[in-house]
Amino acid sequence: ETGVTQTPRHLVMGMTNKKSLKCEQHLGHNAMYWYKQSAKKPLELMFVYNFKEQTENNSVPSRFSPECPNSSHLFLHLHTLQPEDSALYLCASSQGASGVETQYFGPGTRLLVL
């Protein structure tokens, strides 16, 4: 595997379900990110991890819970989601977390909440 991978690619879940999204980067980077992209809206940064430590949480509801066990893996745990949470969730990584680091994106997980 190369680059940034995400699983699953598609997910349908009910509002009472618990599921997790997984991201893995094979680039040796130290920073990882979760973004949300809703239809006709810009990418919204959700969380930033730098050297496994969370450095940004952009007022994300607690029904989204990130986990970063090491610099290569990032999870997004989902529970009691709402239909408006349906979106494309993108993971990204970068070498560092300065404001000029290029971020490399995974293909995303398309989430539908029923």
Partner 1 sequence: DQQVKQNSPSLSVQEGRISILNCDYTNSMFDYFLWYKKYPAEGPTFLISISSIKDKNEDGRFTVFLNKSAKHLSLHIVPSQPGDSAVYFCAASVSNTGNQFYFGTGTSLTVIP
What distance in Å separates the CA atoms of residue 53 and residue 61, rounded to the nearest whole number?
19
- What's the CA gap between 27 and 56, in Å, rounded? 21
Of 7 and 18, CB closest to partner 1: 7
Distance of CA 18 to the CA centre of its chain: 16
Q: Pick between residue 48 and residue 74 the one whose CB is nearest to partner 1.
A: 48
Comparing CB distances to partner 1, the nearer of 1 and 16 is 1
Do the strands 109-113 and 10-13 form a parallel or antiparallel pair, or are they unpaired?
parallel
Residue ranges that bind partner 1, judged by CB under 8 A: 4, 6, 31, 33, 40-43, 45, 48, 55-56, 90, 92, 94, 96-108
Q: How far is the CB of 98 from partner 1 (least distance, A)?
A: 6
